[in-house]
């Protein structure tokens, strides 16, 4: 196995983070289609991680059930700490998407790299270099340009959009930081499975108490979409992302995931016929430059175990 901090380990880590981001880039399309079929955001917020973690747990159990063995203390840390971050993100991302649309949600969501870069130093002792800070800023600017350059005018930043979108960005940053802390200690499989399972338990408890509208879909195609949504963007993507966090520093992984809006823009152009103006494509170029710059500027000592 490639060791943490080795050149090969960092390369694998960046590739995993980018692959996870590309899978997450399909989230908006899945969500929009499910909403059009009448599936409520609260329902998707629960069923998406539930389907994803079930598929991942079955796959791991069939191949190497020992990988899921952790102590009681570790289980509590992963299920409560990671579960809370994942649960808040699931609800806030989908509520924001339903309230103000994908462009506004993405704009607020991708404040996360800046939050991670600022917090990784005091929390994980991964102080970003001046070059890394510049690349984070370049990527955030690229995301905003890609949003403003959409052919469809982005939704207005109303109170609901600011609340849910901002919360999505903060919770996204928090589970990136949690993953960077937990994965090198507990492993990518337990971190992914128990954090996501913990999120499902918390959502199952919170949704009825909050009075949220939760109903199971009745159409077969809704279940097909939810199945694909959960397996690809939770089961596969979160495993790749948490494994990447065991290999590379938190700020690098966070910037690498900025490939998500680039993927979303391409998919929207091909599937939803919602292309970008030149300003938007300039933003995509800045995102790609930022992601590549982070990978090329990584130093051998930058990916150490927290």
DSSP state of 91: H
Higher pLDDT, 35 or 208: 35
pLDDT (0 to 100) of residue 200 = 93
Whether residue 221 has pLDDT greater than 90: yes
d(CA 59, CA 79): 19
Nearest Cα to 158, choosing from 100, 95, 235, 239? 100
d(CA 65, CA 230): 21
145: exposed, middle or buried (C-beta count within 10 Å: 0-12, 13-18, 19+)?
A: buried
pLDDT (0 to 100) of residue 252 = 79
d(CA 238, CA 111): 19
**Rounded average pLDDT over 265-279:** 69
Q: Of the spans 132-141, 173-182, 211-220, which averages the highest pLDDT? A: 173-182
Whether residue 265 has pLDDT greater than 90: no
Asked whether 236 and 189 are in contact (CB, 8 A), the reply is no
Residue 3: pLDDT band (50, 70, 90) is: very low
pLDDT (0 to 100) of residue 199 = 93
Q: How far is CA 91 from CA 157, 165, 168, 297, in A?
A: 18, 10, 8, 35
d(CA 130, CA 291): 15
Q: State which H helix or E strand residue 107 sits in.
A: helix 102-109
> What is the full DSSP assignment across 14-25?
HHHHHHHHHHHT
For 60-92, write each residue's pLDDT tens digit.
Answer: 888 888 888 889 999 999 999 999 999 999 888
Whether residue 241 has pLDDT greater than 80: yes
Burial 253-277, CB ≥16 within 10 A → b, else e:
bbbbbbbbbbbbbebbeeeeebbbe
């Amino acid at each position: 196995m490639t060791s943490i901090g080795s050149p090969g380990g960092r390369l694998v880590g960046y590739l995993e983070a980018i692959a996870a981001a590309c899978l997450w880039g399909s989230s908006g399309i899945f969500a929009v289609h499910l909403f059009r079929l009448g599936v409520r955001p609260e329902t998707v917020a629960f069923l998406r991680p539930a389907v994803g973690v079930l598929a991942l747990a079955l796959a791991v159990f069939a191949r190497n059930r020992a990988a899921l063995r952790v102590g009681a203390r570790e289980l509590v840390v992963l299920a409560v700490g990671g579960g809370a971050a994942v649960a808040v993100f699931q609800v806030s991302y989908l509520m924001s998407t339903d309230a103000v649309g994908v462009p506004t949600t993405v704009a607020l969501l991708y404040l996360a790299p800046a939050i991670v870069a600022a917090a990784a130093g005091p929390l994980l002792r991964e102080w970003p270099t001046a070059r890394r800070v510049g690349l984070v800023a370049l990527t955030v600017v690229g995301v905003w340009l890609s949003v403003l350059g959409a052919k469809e005018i982005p939704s207005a930043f109303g109170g609901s959009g600011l609340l849910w979108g901002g919360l999505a960005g903060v919770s996204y940053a928090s589970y990136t930081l949690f993953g960077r802390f937990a994965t090198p200690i507990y492993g990518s499989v337990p971190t992914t499975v128990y954090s996501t399972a913990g999120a499902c338990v918390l959502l199952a408890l919170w949704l009825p108490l909050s009075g949220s509208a939760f109903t199971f879909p009745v159409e077969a195609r809704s279940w097909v979409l939810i199945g694909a949504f959960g397996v690809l963007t939770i089961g596969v993507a979160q495993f790749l992302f948490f494994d990447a966090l065991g290999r590379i520093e938190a700020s690098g992984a966070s910037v690498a995931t900025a490939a998500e809006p680039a993927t979303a823009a391409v998919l929207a152009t091909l599937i939803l016929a919602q292309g970008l103006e030149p300003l938007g494509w300039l933003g995509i170029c800045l995102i790609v430059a930022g992601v590549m710059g982070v990978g090329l500027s990584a130093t051998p000592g930058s990916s150490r175990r927290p």
